A = this chain, B = another copy of it.
Amino acid sequence: MTEPFRIAVAGLGTVGAGVVKIVQKHGDLIAARAGRRIEITAVSARNRTRDRGVDLSAYDWEDDAAAMAARGDVDCVVEVIGGSDGPAKAALERALGAGRHAVTANKALIAHHGQALGALADANGAALRFEAAVAGGIPILKALGEGLAANRVNRVYGVLNGTCNYILTEMEKTHRAYEDVLAEAQKLGYAEADPSFDVGGIDAAHKLAILAALAFGMEVDFASVAVEGIERINLKDIEFAADLGYRIKLLGVADFDGEGVEQRVQPCMVPADSTIGALDGVTNAVVCEGDFVGKTVFEGPGAGEGPTASAIMADVIDIARGARTPAFGVPTAALARIAPQTEGAHPAEYYLRFHLQDAPGVLAKVTAALGAEGVSIHRMRQYGEENGGAPVLIVTHDAGRGAIDRALAVIAELEVSLAQPVAVRIEKT
């Protein structure tokens, strides 16, 4: 058998400990599949004394991850420190600069600096892989970069943040408000103490920018992702959506129409009985549409120690086997710069919610404002009086976001309008 493949683990939080566990538990299995043993040479973390539930005594300890990354007896650095800058970035730059391979679970880092890191890897003949950065244990980057590599992909979308999906499904199931369920998610460890990256959509946006780069062969363009979180989703809309046969999901959607790419993260409605609509709890799913393959769906656990460690080790095994697929499927320098588009470029049906005076002629004013912008109505429902007005739901035919926004601005100013109108895109699945 070939020489062992030697890795160093930078960061020993939950995921880092998971990597150590999987290497210790499945040494023989991994050796059979990789064609050589995979051994941990050194580990690094801030706190040396903390008990992590794994035996680290066989590995060298390094206080400085960047110094560890450049050791002569390390073939590949596994970076699970986290953070888009600082020690994580320094360790990866040091590793790749020294021609060491690198595997990371760090979506923020790749979304912000993947372009530069990929170029650095290419220049030094090193592999850079980050399967664990997107959709946890689901091998979706491998699917896009390899399994569907013969396709022109024109659309990739999905539920990319387990925390948000947990909150939205719990709100629907238990009829509780957003704040209540968020607090519970924090108690259960599904949401961070500062949940803004998750509920604000940033985490999903990081992942979407990485997916789009691989799917379309484009430069990582995180700055162009339009981001809206789930903070403003209220229980009413979730219940009205259910009544209409929809569920609200925080979706990341990237569309490439041959000219430009639209990337957006936003709460959308999807049919309750679609694969995406049926997704419960912290599960993630990614849908990919290719011109030859058609529509494929990949579903699985989006986070957690085991799934993340599984994805990291798949990358390590690939590299140990000799795979040198570039970070984004093509050489980083060959990634195209594709013009960004906005939601306006792709019409869709919209769910609109109004709270209106219950009086003659009111609906006529609202529908006239929609008609003036060319927005045509597909379904409408009026509910019984509530808080001195009547909730009215409208599902439109395909309309542009601009027309919707303009019509809603007009309606909001009408005297008969008792609350700010709400619009939620109904995503095609």
Contacts and interface: CB of A to CB of B under 8 A. Distances in A.
A307 B301 CA distance: 26
Given A299-B297, A300-B294, A148 B334 contact: no
A329 to B, nearest CB: 6
Given A143-B142, A301-B295, A314 B22 contact: no
A32 interface: yes
Contacts of A314: 146-150
> A-B pairs with the 7 shortest C-beta distances?
A139-B147, A150-B313, A296-B300, A137-B293, A293-B310, A297-B299, A292-B306
A310 B150 CA distance: 6
A295 B32 CA distance: 23
Interface of A: 18, 22, 26, 29-30, 32-35, 131, 137-139, 142-143, 145-152, 217, 273, 275, 278, 290-301, 304, 306-307, 309-311, 313-314, 316-318, 321-325, 329-331, 334
Given A150-B313, A293-B300, A295-B300, 13 more contacts: A33-B145, A33-B330, A137-B290, A137-B294, A139-B143, A142-B147, A146-B317, A150-B317, A273-B278, A275-B299, A297-B299, A297-B300, A298-B298
A298 B297 CA distance: 6
Nearest to A272: B273
A321 B325 contact: yes
A210 to B, nearest CB: 16
A301 B18 CA distance: 34
Contacts of A323: 321-323
Contacts of A318: 146
A385 B131 CA distance: 58
A307 B292 contact: yes
Contact of A22 (B32, B138, B150, B330): B150
B146 A310 contact: no
A415 to B, nearest CB: 45
A273 B145 CA distance: 31
14 contacts: A22-B292, A32-B330, A33-B150, A35-B331, A131-B147, A137-B293, A137-B294, A139-B148, A146-B317, A292-B309, A292-B310, A296-B301, A298-B299, A321-B324
B310 A301 contact: no
Contacts of A146: 139, 142, 314, 317-318
Contacts of A35: 331
A142 B330 CA distance: 19
Nearest to A150: B313
